[in-house]
Chain A
Amino acid sequence: MNDLYPQISASLFQTLPILVLIVAGIGVLVADVLLPRASRWLLSWLSLLGVALAFIALDFVVGPAGREALPLHSYFGVLRSNYLVFLAQNVILAAGAFVILISPRYVGERRIPLGEYYGLLLLAVMAMLALAASTELLTVFLNLELLSITLYVLTGIENRNLRSGEAAFKYFLLGSFAAAFLLLGIAFVFGATGETRYDAIRQVLVDGTAQPRLLAIGFCLMLVGFGFKLSLAPFHMYAPDVYEGAPTTTASLIATGTKVAGFAALFHLIELAAAWSDAAGGLWLALYAVALASMIVGNVGAVVQPNIKRMLAYSSIAHSGYTIVPMVVMLQRPDLIADARDAVAYYMLAYTVMTLLAFGVPAVLGPAGESRIAQYAGLHRRSPMLAFVMALAMVSLMGIPPTIGFFGKFQLFAVAVQGDHIWLAVLGVLASVASVYYYLRVIVTMYMEEPATAGEELESRRLDGVNAFALTACSVCVFLFVVFQSLYLFGV
């Protein structure tokens, strides 16, 4: 038994960021009980501190997994860290920090219980970090469930708002179905290969001793489970309702952190499937259909949404569709896995930056800013900075250079062209032309229309310093990684 200690201590060290977040999450819950009511505002700073410590642990204590270095395994291969995971975890922590920064006023106005809110937020972020790194079937399931359950509560936490409760219930009901599919898929894959660890499964796939039919069913069922979490069509039905009903801060976390973690996990699964010579058949077709359906459903659905959060929900469905384009390609072309990984990694960053901005503005604007797009009329006059930030988010989501959205999309479609999936690229591009229409509508409303009646007008609100800081930092990121490509990704 003694020889296990070094490995366990090494594993503990490598998962230090996750451990930090567990401690911080529990710490916030305890502090909520201990602190007098008047100083509960400390909780947000406490949770920010937790995220900051996790960030330090990730980047400076554990350190990056080199781009070409061998993946690091911990807990006997259950979790692993590589370039994609490291990037995803950084993005998730940044998203968590952003959500915490824009939360205080929002949460205060709605009388959301602070301890539960921040505590669960930290645990959700923790679950995301773990999910992104999971490379074992049951660990994937457990982390996904842990993440889901915290998000169900965070969605319904605004207990004075019926819509919040409704959204949580829908999310929970449909999420449980999806989890069941995922578990069933896991059972099939296990049945076909007799293994649960990805590296062991890969060996079975390479040897060709797996049962092909069970395996195909298993992978497809797992795709359903992931499709739900990533709000890929046709498993997207819940997304608009949940995004609309959930507190906007929670919605922004669901739209960004959850998806980043989910994409990293899905990427590992597809990477695994790519090792299987039959994957290029049925599973490939399923993934292709899902990508195409998401791009079309998302972009067409968003056009008719009068509500800003519903529109963003559909937009996020479309962007999930774009993001799995490289995965579709690499399933048929395993030689492009490295390019696909880089494209997905960069797009996770790009998508998170611009989506946080797009959700951040409604969150900062408060109640009126969260409903109809028409209420943004004339925003450029009352809150020039918020209007600018929102316009920037829209331009970046459209994929107009020189914003980060363009470079993200450029790489996704570059992989598709490189892998000779010209039609997928053409359809994706046409879908994003359609997206231009509804993103522009927000800009038109803010800059070119005046409120029809006095009641339509959003009250002008002063930005508090923390909100302004979060939005500014995010806006800078829209250009930063473009000007200094080598800083982050290309030169690593």
Chain B
Amino acid sequence: MPELTNHHAALLLLMTFLPAVTGIVIAAAVPAALARTVALAGAVLTFLVSLTFVGGIFGMPADFTAAVNIPWIERYNVALLMGLDGLSGSLVLLTNVLIILAVLGSWTAIAARQKEFYFYLLLLQTGILGAFLALDLLLFYIFWEIMLIPLYFLIGIFGSKNRIYATTKFFLYTMAGSLLMLLGIIALYFHTGSFALADALGAAATLDPTARLLIFLSFVIAFAIKVPLFPLHTWLPDAHTEAPTAGSVVLAGVLLKTGVYGLLRFAIPLFPAEAARIAPLMMLLAVIAIIYGALTAFAQRDMKRLVAYSSVSHMGFIVLGVFAFREAAITGASLQMINHGISTSGLFLCVGYLYERRHTRELAAFGGLAHNMKLYAVLTMIMILSSVGLPGLNGFVGEFMILVGAYPANAVLTIIAATGVILAACYLLRLMQETFYGPLDKDENKVLRDLNPRESFTLVVLAVFALWIGLYPRIFTEPLAPVSERIVRAVEAAQSPGTALADATAGK
């Protein structure tokens, strides 16, 4: 029997499945010329529904009581358990905003096979939303896998030249990780008797240490591939470079965050002791990713590849913050997920708009664009500065909190990581300089028109958020803080023997 605790539950289900339903309607019944309009309407509607949650059920109880609880596969006790807290709620909102921008960003860029395009995009949205909302491990896995197929098609059909290689690589990498995670989930089920996160939290601590470590590793590898953490990152630059703009926006903006989210929601709370054990290694890998990603970004000639490697570097900061296990660092990492979603998506949109005009992404092909594309130059500048971490913009807040929080955990690594901020300035300002400054000497560039209102709208929205978070971050960190506090407490309790385990796992 469906058991909807309140009208929020119905809205939650509506929001999750509305995009997929819109997508199916587009594929089945809408003429191609109207596809993008319907997709936009669906995305906006989804966003409006998600707005009703702000301040409402963000306060999911600490024991993960789900708002939606519908039995599904009774034999394995699988249920549609879904709920929101500050962390997942913020990411859900980010997703819904970015999908709208992705639709707007593809408005003219996607000319052929539009119905398919918006079908995949909206299906992807349902997969992502479901993954953020699921509180049942098997349900989470199902949504996690549903994300794969649409993105696979988005890159494979609408990508650029080397797209099939990139999309197959992406698929194989992710699938390998997630199937091992599936075995971990199954093993956990047979040890604890339930797929529900709330039940598993209490029971996971009673497993024998080897099983716990193996299951934990199966989770961490799957999530590390998605983040992606060095050395599992090689699929990302390829996927980003070949993906269409909307694909890159969603990929960088939210898809990578599902990996970090998985760590914060499932892997670490379920296995706090193991997480603490591997934390030094993870922080080391994160710092390698920061430096390596930054140096590689500096060497890129292709704008999109440059931004892609900057993503590897920035995601390193987030992982560093997560595994520092300090409240400030985890809150900073959670905020940085949103920041990265804003700035990197913005950069991909910028590159996409330029590509649409000029059909190349080679840095060498540009120069002096600030002379004839003034609005574009300003908005791109904001995105770049936000990504660099200029005080007053969002990136600074997140990185600062991560570094402050990580310093007590590991001073040496934090200091090395901090140089990553300087490196970010180097490669991103180089992007700025080579594109916009210098003489406007190429004839093809002289005729480029500035952004139209639709394009500027997408970037202005992101710029507003960048400023807002930069100037008044409290409103954004407030919902995140309780989640990080709970995680830190669970890890601390697991590290100090003698304290009641039950306290830690219940998060009380």
Contacts and interface: CB of A to CB of B under 8 A. Distances in A.
Contacts of A300: none
A253 B189 CA distance: 37
Nearest to A418: B190
Contacts of B176: 430, 433
Interface stretch (A17-25, A89-97, A409-417): A409-417
A447 B153 contact: yes
Secondary structure at the A interface, as helix, strand, loop or mixed, is: helix
B187 interface: yes
Contacts of B187: 417, 422
A426 interface: yes
Interface stretch (B167-175, B257-265, B346-354): B167-175
A491 B74 contact: yes
A447 B157 contact: yes
Given A485-B72, A490-B74, A401 B145 contact: yes
A152 interface: no
A113 B74 CA distance: 49
Given A410-B182, A429-B182, A447-B156, A437 B74 contact: no
A56 interface: no
Contact of B163 (A400, A414, A448): A448
B232 to A, nearest CB: 14
B9 interface: no
Interface centre among B72, B141, B175 (most CB of A within 10 A): B175
A413 B156 contact: no
Contacts of B149: 395, 400
A406 B145 CA distance: 10
A432 interface: yes
Contacts of A282: none
A414 B74 contact: no
Interface string B137-168: 00001100110110011001100000110001
B32 to A, nearest CB: 13
A433 B172 contact: yes
Interface residues of A, number: 32
Interface in A445-492: 447-449, 485-486, 489-491
B180 A429 contact: yes
Contacts of B74: 485-486, 490-491
A321 B103 CA distance: 44
Contacts of A417: 183, 186-187, 190
Nearest to A441: B168
A249 to B, nearest CB: 29
A448 B75 contact: no
B13 interface: no
B180 A426 contact: yes
Contacts of A414: 76, 186, 189-190
A425 interface: yes
A436 B141 CA distance: 17
Contacts of A418: 190
A492 to B, nearest CB: 10
A402 interface: yes
B156 A401 contact: no
A240 B56 CA distance: 59
B179 interface: yes
Contacts of B145: 400-401, 406
Contacts of A426: 180, 183
B73 interface: yes
A440 interface: yes
Nearest to A399: B179
Contacts of A443: 156
A103 to B, nearest CB: 29
A444 interface: yes
A444 B146 contact: no
A433 B190 CA distance: 23
Nearest to B163: A448
A437 to B, nearest CB: 7
A448 B157 contact: yes
A491 B179 CA distance: 27
A448 B164 contact: yes
Interface in A70-102: none
A401 B157 contact: no
Contacts of A491: 74-75
Given A418-B190, A433-B176, A400 B183 contact: no
Contact of B146 (A402, A410, A447, A449): A402
Nearest to B172: A436
Contact of B183 (A401, A413, A448): A413
A485 B75 contact: yes
- Name the residue among A432, A447, A448 with the largest chain B CB count within 10 angstroms: A448
Given A395-B149, A402-B146, A485-B73, A437 B183 contact: no
Given A401-B145, A444-B168, A433 B179 contact: yes
Given A413-B186, A426-B180, A485-B75, A400 B148 contact: yes
A490 to B, nearest CB: 4
Nearest to A395: B149
Interface in A383-434: 395, 398, 400-402, 406, 410, 413-414, 417-418, 422, 425-426, 429-430, 432-433
Contacts of A429: 179-180, 182-183
A305 B127 CA distance: 33
B164 A413 contact: no
Contacts of B157: 447-448
B154 to A, nearest CB: 11
Contacts of B156: 443-444, 447-448
A443 B157 CA distance: 11
A64 to B, nearest CB: 18
Contacts of B148: 400
B183 A436 contact: no
Interface string A316-349: 0000000000000000000000000010000000
Of the listed residues A398, A436, A486, the one surrounded by the most CB atoms of chain B closer than 10 A to its CB is A436
Among A400, A402, A447, which residue has the most Cβ atoms of chain B within 10 A? A400
Given A414-B186, A417-B186, A447-B157, A437 B172 contact: yes
B175 A436 contact: yes
A127 B148 CA distance: 42
Interface in B327-360: none
A401 B136 CA distance: 15
A414 B78 CA distance: 14
Given A417-B190, A430-B176, A437 B153 contact: no
Contacts of A401: 141-142, 145-146
A398 B168 CA distance: 14
B400 to A, nearest CB: 40
Contact of B171 (A430, A436, A486, A490): A436
Nearest to A448: B156
Nearest to A490: B75
Contacts of A402: 142, 146
A432 B142 contact: no
Contacts of B190: 414, 417-418
A350 to B, nearest CB: 14
Interface in B173-217: 175-176, 179-180, 182-183, 186-187, 189-190
Among B75, B141, B157, the one with the most A-chain Cβ atoms within 10 Å of its Cβ is B75
Interface of B: 72-76, 141-142, 145-146, 148-149, 152-153, 156-157, 163-164, 168, 171-172, 175-176, 179-180, 182-183, 186-187, 189-190
22 contacts: A342-B75, A398-B175, A400-B146, A400-B148, A401-B141, A401-B142, A413-B182, A413-B183, A417-B183, A417-B187, A422-B187, A429-B179, A430-B176, A436-B172, A436-B175, A437-B172, A440-B171, A443-B156, A448-B164, A485-B75, A490-B73, A490-B76
Identify the 6 closest CB pairs spanning chains A and B, nearest first. A490-B75, A401-B142, A429-B179, A417-B186, A433-B176, A448-B156
